[in-house]
Chains A and B, each alone.
Chain A
């Protein structure tokens, strides 16, 4: 197992491996999102309190979960890169940031669309879940801006890794904010004592959407890391052989 991960940290091996695995991730994502989206929109019964507006949950929850997951991956990768100086880790962190920012934007936007009919407002500044999620978007933007402002890639990796690690404290704050403070946002629906607070008809499409979004994120992330690796390794012989010689698929 360790041998596999050790080998995977090698940029040429990772590049080839990721290229093979991305289509499989994409197929699983399409199947899960196809089922989850259809069942969530047309099969699951309307919620007894929220009516059909609850169907927004099927895009909002996966986006929210991925917004935090992407930041955790970014921070862990940045930390590994900082401590063990594994080049691929910084590439993973750099590739995760824009995807995380998009999913955070999606979580905020769909949450806002859901909030209007349920709470009577698009946005509530005093709400801890909403403001901590907005802070997450600013952290992603700050991370990307910091990287873009430093020409030296090694210095950019180090500086942005520190920011990623400092900002990771916001992730548990987002997750537990609805338990720690009074919030307009509803409490945990899936991960809670006593199991999920949803009927199976509603729950299964949601789980499928979460799984589908996760595999889609995985496919997008691996694709972006491959691009990042190419830019970082352009002096390496394997890149030259791949792009100019008979190196197989690019």
Chain B
């Protein structure tokens, strides 16, 4: 187990690169549905405001 973590002395670099990748991908993956849900709510408000005006 320690051997795997050590990665032949490059553990910090290898796990650091993979950790950063996971963080960036998580931001992209989570950000999409969050933006979409916000868009749905925003657009609903806009449509209702338009209908209230007319």
Contacts and interface: CB of A to CB of B under 8 A. Distances in A.
22 contacts: A37-B18, A52-B7, A52-B8, A52-B14, A56-B17, A102-B24, A106-B20, A110-B21, A113-B13, A113-B16, A220-B28, A223-B32, A224-B35, A227-B32, A227-B36, A230-B40, A231-B39, A231-B43, A234-B43, A234-B47, A239-B43, A243-B43
Interface residues of B, dominant DSSP: helix
A46 B7 CA distance: 9
A17 B37 CA distance: 18
A53 B14 contact: yes
Given A63-B21, A105-B24, A244-B47, A53 B36 contact: no
Interface of A is mostly: helix
B36 A59 contact: no
Interface of A: 37, 41-42, 46, 51-53, 55-56, 59-60, 63, 99, 102, 105-106, 109-110, 113-114, 116-117, 216, 220, 223-224, 226-227, 230-231, 234-235, 239-240, 243-244, 250
Bin chain B's interface residue count: 20 to 34
A54 to B, nearest CB: 9
Contacts of A244: 44, 47-48
Given A56-B17, A102-B24, 18 more contacts: A41-B14, A41-B18, A51-B10, A52-B11, A53-B10, A56-B13, A60-B17, A102-B27, A110-B21, A113-B17, A113-B20, A220-B28, A223-B32, A227-B32, A230-B43, A234-B43, A244-B44, A244-B47
A230 B42 CA distance: 10
A109 to B, nearest CB: 6
Interface of B: 4, 7-11, 13-14, 16-18, 20-21, 24-25, 27-29, 32-33, 35-36, 39-40, 42-44, 46-48, 50
Given A41-B18, A224-B35, A117 B13 contact: yes
B41 to A, nearest CB: 9
Contacts of B8: 46, 51-53
Contacts of A230: 36, 39-40, 43
Q: 8 tightest A-B contacts by CB?
A: A52-B8, A52-B7, A53-B10, A223-B32, A59-B21, A51-B8, A56-B17, A110-B17
